[in-house]
Structure 1
């Protein structure tokens, strides 16, 4: 049975550099007892955007995944966010989605950020992943993926596109513009959750987390550079109404992707 509405909590927060335990405690305190169907955390929410994978990587049965499962069950909400994962001696910037039943899905960041040398440390993902939660089809992506519209193209009729990020203040205008564009071109809700504060490399992050409807209108009131959680309510009828009325997705180009 599909929910007519979905309440999503956008967690815009600072992160403690390369300290998974401190970040888990901080995040758990922030989300404790909020009422939402889905909680969205930033990219690399346990460490910040680090290239020091050998020191901070965790296996899929590690402390953070165990904690995510426990927190999801406690809050009765699905949770998504990315962290550094080691698997078969390779490192991944891996987005994890866990639901209250304990089911886990993951997506490995497709577009590693070459400007920061991410491609030298982390394996790039090869597969786009969608998951369905409470009847909503969701496409989760990570930060730099936002710059590549072909990868996000809505050929699967998903309802929500979600980006988790550590997107720096110096290029925040691109973040603002592209989030809105992705909503409009894919006729889907588009949500972006970005961190705030300084990281261990002294890069500054200014938030600008946001949620857009299928017409590119903001449906949130999140302050730009402040630690906050905002819950936005998405409506299935909104998607159906404008896809039927405008029909833009019916004219989309057909193509296949090569990894």
Structure 2
């Protein structure tokens, strides 16, 4: 079963949480010079991610950071390129963020470093990086991502007051939905606790954590059935019932999974036939 992050364990000394970048940049009808510049842009983004921390440095983790950029338009102003793009930011598993209003500048030979002045490219990499890492931390400690969400919110404040303010209102709406759904955030933590308890041989605790997580997810869905972050999490985890049914030889929690993901009745029916002892 694929896990949501690569957990290397609690560090004996403070050590930075590390993203493993996977960057792709695509565009249509690009001339050779533009293709070369976008190739340089990809390398620059990868180097930036590898050389900077996106964490509070309490754990030693390696978390995938996927960025897929689809260039719509490129215009030149002096030595700078202005790039309009759609982008997907993801951990490659149960987190996905879509941005369709991104415009940023890039200059050949540019080197990124962190500073308080808003940067239309670097700060978006940081913003979504903090969201992804904060949510991973929510899965390790209850509401453990708060400090990283605060850093993302600081970027919102700078971006919304800059000349690159387009899109920040909708990003803030998504931010508030993500951070304000405490049921989903707590469910992530308990869901992981269920896996770890089973790994440690404590099946009773694992069952308790799993049931509580599922009930929190159901309550979150009842309150906001259109929550895209919740629904994406459910879509990536509904098949976990097969693992739990195999471990426990019990399908008592199957009805909760059915309620969470009613469009997957065929899958749940198969699980019920297989593990209905």
- Classify the TM-score, shorter chain: under 0.3
Of Structure 1 and Structure 2, the greater helix share is in 2
Highest CA radius of gyration, 1 or 2?
A: 2
TM-score (norm 1): 0.28
Of Structure 1 and Structure 2, the greater strand share is in 1
TM-score (norm 2): 0.27
